[in-house]
Amino acid sequence: MDRRRRSLGCGAVSVDSAQLVSLPKIADPRGNLSFIEAGRPVPFAIKRSYWIYDVPGGETRGGHAYRSLQECIIALSGSFDVHLDDGERKRRVSLNRSYLGLVVPRLLWRRLDNFSTNAVCLILASDYYDAADYIRDYAEFLREVRV
């Protein structure tokens, strides 16, 4: 077992495992079109979608991790930053394209900020809403990823 897996625990998830996926894009002078179908290209079955919008300047969303939920985050409109943290390393991904999805595995702390005016953040999730799946306390998150 390498040093990183010892410090983060056997089920460790690295910030590198979050993946940007390209969604199909049908370019058209009348306006572009993108789509997502069951099983492709988002690599999990989508059970729920929600969106974040009308974010006041300077506000932050997220600030938690999920014990089992996977998500795909898309900047449908405008731009924002996603800050990922695996308990050891941090990574920032700026999203500003409607045809790119950021697939975020379980057990990564995430925070979204730097929303542009009129940004719309669409999130596709692998399961129904479950408050018990959230880890909202960062110290608790560190304890769980280091088990």
Q: Should residue 50 be labelled a site residue for ligand TYD when binding is judged by CB under 6 A? A: yes
Shortest Å distance, C-beta 5 to ligand TYD: 28
Token representation of residue 147: 């088990």
Can you tell me which residue has the tokens 């719309």?
Answer: 120
- For residue 64, give Cα distances in angstroms to 50, 60, 123, 134: 16, 11, 15, 7
In angstroms, the CA 26 to CA 9 distance is: 43
Token representation of residue 86: 């695996």
- For residue 30, give Cα distances in angstroms to 95, 118, 121: 24, 22, 23
Q: Can you tell me which of 129, 130, 137, 146 binds ligand TYD, judged by CB under 6 A?
A: 129
List, in order, residues 6 or more apart from 129 with CB less than 8 Å away. Answer: 48
Shortest Å distance, C-beta 54 to ligand TYD: 13
Q: Which stretch binds ligand TYD (CB under 6 A): 25-33, 56-64, 80-88, 138-146?
A: 56-64
Q: Should residue 105 be labelled a site residue for ligand TYD when binding is judged by CB under 6 A? A: no
Closer to ligand TYD by CB, 48 or 106: give it: 48
Q: Should residue 61 be labelled a site residue for ligand TYD when binding is judged by CB under 6 A? A: yes
Per-residue x/- track, 3-42, ligand TYD (CB under 6 A): ----------------------------------------
Binding site for ligand TYD (CB under 6 A): 48, 50, 52, 61-62, 64, 129
